[in-house]
């Protein structure tokens, strides 16, 4: 299931990344198109200004001459337009013929192309204002042999007082436009692009999240159906096994009784030994069947107050003889604590823990049973100084039929775990090979003095 979820997550992430990349490319292309459109509009505006100014200059010229005051008026009038910063007409040698508005940075521009600065656009063209005829005359248009111009050698033409001759060309006409309005629009487009990108990304993430949640929910539903089928099958097998085990106990009881009669009535030492072996094996089989039946049936705790000191005193009395025979020290420290629990289930759990401790210990080792308060609850522990448990086995010791000892059923700790779960306790096992093991039941509710 986990592998399926990881694979689904990878596919969803890949699809989301592709959708996000496609959306980003489309939005970026749209943004760049809008920006380019604004720049083209600005360039067209600059070209219109240059063309209009060129036409105005030509209209004011006559016989190769111009009125400086009229030309300055044209430049000043156009320079007053809101989006025009400055205008200038000069020769390529740098002599200014006329200008209007602000003219900084004009020397940096050239007819090769527009010059974009921080908040302005500078455009330059080479207007064809005067034609040079073969006769040396100056006039607008292409003068042929001086027919349209006036010979300089003849002096100032009549009626042309106040008119000045145009300097020798070619000329450079420069227009500087204010681009702040365009920059504001582009800035607005950039903000729109960023917001649109964020919204699109958020939409993709939300869509991916919903899709992933749907895939996960589908996989969970499938896994739940499979788990239900397996659980139903296991419950069916458990009921069959429990019935079989229950039916097996009765014949085993008969076999044990017959073996006991043979042992009591036979004069043959060999027959008595064989009968004793049958009795021991029958008892072992009955214990395993009893453990299986306890494990197969759901444990339900009937909670009551338990005095731990009295419980331990009566309980440990049953196993003190076995401890003496094996030369194992069995110690129980009085705690003065009272807890809530099912006395029979607790006795069964503690018996399994101490039996496991006996199996792990050798002559001279020690088993200690303690109870103590721990973080607002009570912990009941069985600690031995025996052989310990390897880290590899520690992960499996509560699994049914997992046993590290010869003759063990492998059901003891499984039953203890089930009893702990019935009480909402926690089973904690810590061990170090060669140094012993500590098994504790944690989270046991203490009987408060008001309930005593």
Q: What is the pLDDT of residue 81?
A: 86
Mean pLDDT of 174-202: 84
Residue 442 pLDDT more than 90? Answer: yes
According to the per-residue pLDDT averaged within each range, which of 8-12, 43-47, 59-63 is highest? 43-47
CATH of the domain spanning 298-451, picked from 3.30.565.10, 1.20.1280.50, 1.10.10.10, 3.30.390.30: 3.30.565.10
What average pLDDT does the chain have?
78
Q: How open is the CA angle 396-402-405, to the nearest 5 degrees? A: 115
**131-152: pLDDT as tens digits:** 433 333 334 443 333 333 444 4
Per residue in 84-135, pLDDT (tens digit) is 888 988 888 888 888 888 876 556 556 677 888 888 888 888 888 764 333 3
Query: Three-state secondary structure along 79-106?
Result: HCCCCEEEEEEEECCCCEEEEEECCCCH
Tokens of 444: 């046991």
pLDDT at 248 over 50: yes
CB 179 within 8 A of CB 42: yes
In the predicted structure, residue 2 carries a pLDDT above the cut 90: no
Looking only at the bridges linking them, the beta strands covering 131-132 and 138-139 are antiparallel
pTM over 0.75: no
Could you give the C-alpha distances from 220 to 217, 229, 231, in angstroms and in order? 5, 14, 16
From the list 420, 421, 418, 438, the residue with the least C-alpha distance to 429 is 438
Q: Is the pLDDT of residue 404 over 50?
A: yes
pLDDT at 109: 54
User: Who has greater pLDDT, 435 or 9?
Assistant: 435
Q: Treating both helix axes as pointing N-terminal to C-terminal, what angle do 343-360 and 412-423 enclose, rounded to 10 degrees? A: 150
Q: Which range (209-213, 305-309, 337-341) has the least confidence?
A: 209-213
């Amino acid at each position: 299931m986990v592998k399926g979820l990881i694979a689904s997550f990878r596919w969803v992430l890949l699809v989301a990344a592709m959708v996000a990349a496609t959306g980003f490319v489309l939005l970026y292309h749209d943004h760049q198109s809008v920006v380019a459109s604004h720049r083209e509009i600005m360039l067209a505006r600059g070209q219109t200004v240059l063309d209009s100014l060129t036409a105005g200059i030509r209209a004011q010229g006559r016989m190769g001459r111009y009125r400086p005051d009229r030309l300055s008026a044209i430049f000043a009038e156009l320079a007053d337009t809101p989006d025009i910063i400055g205008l200038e007409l000069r020769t390529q040698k740098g002599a200014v013929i006329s200008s209007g508005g602000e003219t900084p940075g004009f020397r940096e521009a050239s007819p090769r192309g527009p010059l974009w600065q921080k908040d302005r656009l500078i455009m330059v063209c080479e207007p064809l204002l005067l034609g040079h005829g073969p006769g040396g005359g100056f006039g607008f248009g292409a003068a042929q042999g001086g027919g349209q111009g006036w010979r300089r050698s003849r002096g100032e033409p009549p009626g042309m007082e106040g008119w000045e001759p145009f300097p020798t060309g070619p000329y450079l006409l420069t227009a500087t436009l204010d681009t702040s309005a365009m920059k504001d629009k582009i800035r607005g487009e950039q903000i729109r692009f960023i917001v649109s990108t964020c919204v699109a990304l958020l939409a993709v993430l939300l869509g991916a999240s919903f899709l992933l949640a749907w895939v996960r929910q589908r996989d969970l539903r499938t896994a739940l159906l499979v788990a239900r089928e397996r659980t139903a099958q296991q419950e069916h097998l458990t009921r069959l096994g429990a019935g079989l085990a229950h039916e097996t106990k009765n014949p085993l009881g008969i076999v044990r009784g017959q073996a006991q009669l043979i042992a009591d009535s036979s004069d043959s030492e060999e027959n008595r030994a064989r009968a004793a072996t049958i009795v021991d094996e029958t008892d072992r089989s009955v214990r395993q069947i009893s453990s299986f039946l306890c494990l197969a049936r759901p444990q339900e705790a009937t909670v009551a107050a338990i005095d731990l000191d009295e419980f331990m005193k009566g309980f440990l009395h049953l196993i003190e003889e076995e401890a003496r025979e094996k030369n194992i020290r069995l110690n129980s420290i009085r705690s003065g604590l009272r807890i809530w629990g099912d006395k029979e289930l607790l006795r069964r759990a503690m018996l399994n823990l101490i039996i496991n401790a006996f199996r792990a210990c050798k002559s001279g080792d020690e088993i200690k049973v303690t109870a103590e308060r721990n973080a607002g609850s009570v912990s009941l522990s069985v600690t031995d100084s025996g052989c310990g448990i390897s880290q590899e086995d520690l992960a499996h010791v509560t699994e049914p039929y997992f046993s590290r000892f010869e003759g063990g059923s492998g059901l003891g700790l499984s039953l203890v775990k089930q009893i702990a779960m019935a009480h909402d306790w926690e089973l904690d096992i810590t061990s170090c090979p060669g140094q012993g093991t500590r098994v504790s039941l944690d989270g046991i509710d203490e009987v408060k003095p008001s309930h005593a």
